[in-house]
Amino acid sequence: MKPGGIYIHIPFCKSRCSYCDFATDVYRGNDAVERYVNALCGEIDRFLPQIDAHNADKEFSSDPRYPRLTAADSPSYIDTIYIGGGTPSLLRPDQLERILSAIHGKFEIANGAEVTMEMNPATVTLESLAAFRDLGINRASFGVQTFNDRDLKLLARGHDATDVKNTYRMLRDAGFANVSFDLIAGLPGQKMDDWRRNLDEAVAMMPEHLSLYLLEIHESTPLAEQLRSGRRDLPDEKLVADMYELMIDRLAGAGYEQYEISNFARPGFASRHNSKYWTLDPVYGYGVSAHSFDGTHRYANERDTARYVAMMENSASAEVMREDIDLSSEFVFLGLRLTEGIDLDNFHRRFGIDFDDRVAGLVENELVEVIKGRLRLTRRGMLFSNEVFAEFV
């Protein structure tokens, strides 16, 4: 088993964005956050994954702030921590420290572990960022979304493009040397020139990593309602496809390697944590709505924050879903998200399945290609990836 990762969900946000259907709550003061952090630390304390990935030859963190566990104390070895949300940058540094201490109290952390925290513009100060750095956060996932003030308003992001630039400068001043931008394409009313300007602005700021998503519309959101009522229109499919192609070319020209359908990085800066999801390595989630994968099962926590806290305070668990997964299907459609694709011989050895017929049809439609024994999506296949994945499920 390869080293695992830990995902921590912090559900609080300053306000609710118009497209968001994540498990989030509007921040209404520190009391609710305190109660949540207590419940979260209790969960980390109580729930160890049922694996034994401990290996004596691993190099463990020698961080003096966190007492080293003996091997007998900890069955789990991890090399990534990802604190997502929500807006984790709304946490106070002492709350973050309690969460990290709880993790260090139960897990063996690899030396040089990647420790990411999601940060939103205008939610931090230079002091809070410096404190987060001191606590061991070494990667910032920065929620830019767009540099266009009209679009930021449409998305109800609660910040403008000047906030984006100011917060980014603070991240660098605080010593963050690994910053990832989130950007969204295909916004209502967005034109190709708008998207080109977004890419140009992002590239000029030289983040180490970019995650670029196509806007998804979730039924119960205000944005979905605006579209239903005809007040907004989405760009047509052809324009969105052209935006995707422009993104690949523009970022390749600026020295970014595409390593996954939506993710680009300067050499050496691919997200180690997110890669675990695509290569089916274990990831243990803690907090409201957090999902976990232990190598065999997926399981998930309650999605409502108040209920999650009550469950953790009153009973032993907040788990509401557990399922066995079809490993061979997941191996294919998660592996195909990566530009390196999957090794067909390895797949055959591991699962005893041969899917030559299906591959032949997809190759004919120029959706996949086989290069040196690896099956991978073509550029066209990346655009129509759901069609490809459906073939393998």
Return all residues near 31 (Cβ < 8 A) that are at least 6 apart: none
Tell the smallest beta-carbon distance from residue 143 to ligand SF4 (Å).
Answer: 6
User: Can residue 184 be called a binding residue for ligand SF4 (CB under 6 A)?
Assistant: no
Residue 95 near residue 35 (C-beta atoms within 8 A) = no
CA 362 to chain centre: 29
271 interacts with ligand SF4 by CB under 6 A: no
- Using rule CB under 6 A, residue 287 touches ligand SF4: no
Between 3 and 88, name the residue whose CB sits nearer to ligand SF4. 88
Of positions 80, 87, 258, 262, contacts ligand SF4 by CB under 6 A: 87
The dihedral of CA 96, 110, 54, 268: what is its sign? positive
In the complex, least distance from residue 310 CB atom to ligand SF4, rounded to whole angstroms:
22
Rg (CA), the chain: 21
Per the listing, tokens 């989130």 go with: 182
The pair of three-digit structure tokens given for residue 356, joined into one six-digit string: 């030559």
Question: Of 331, 291, 285, 350, which is closest to residue 40 (Cα–Cα)?
Answer: 285
Start-to-end CA distance of the chain, whole Å, equals 24
Kindly tell me which residue out of 6, 10, 20, 131 binds ligand SF4, with binding defined by CB under 6 A.
Answer: 20
Contact with ligand SF4 (CB under 6 A) among 6, 17, 90, 375: 17
Centroid of chain to Cα 59: 26
Q: Is 121 in the site for ligand SF4 (CB under 6 A)?
A: no
- Binding ligand SF4 (rule: CB under 6 A), the pick from 3, 4, 7, 24 is 24
Angle at 220 between CA 219 and CA 222, to 5 degrees: 105
**Is 152 a binder of ligand SF4 (CB under 6 A)?**
no
Q: Which stretch binds ligand SF4 (CB under 6 A): 16-24, 291-299, 345-353, 356-364?
A: 16-24
Q: Does residue 40 belong to the site contacting ligand SF4 (CB under 6 A)?
A: no
Would residue 105 be called left, alpha or beta, if left means φ above 0 and alpha means ψ between -120 and 50 degrees? Answer: alpha
Backbone angles phi, psi at 162, to 5 degrees: -65, -40
**Binding residues for ligand SF4 restricted to 216-235, rule: CB under 6 A:** none
Residue closer to ligand SF4 by CB (options 11, 207) is 11
- 8 A C-beta contact, residue 69 and residue 102: no
d(CA 182, CA 146): 8
**Residue 13 interacting with ligand SF4 (CB under 6 A):** yes
Contact flag: residue 16 with ligand SF4 (CB under 6 A): yes
> Binding to ligand SF4 by residue 78, rule CB under 6 A?
no
Q: Find the binder of ligand SF4 among 3, 49, 85, 121 (CB under 6 A).
A: 85
**Binding region for ligand SF4 (CB under 6 A):** 13, 16-17, 20, 22, 24, 85-87, 120, 143
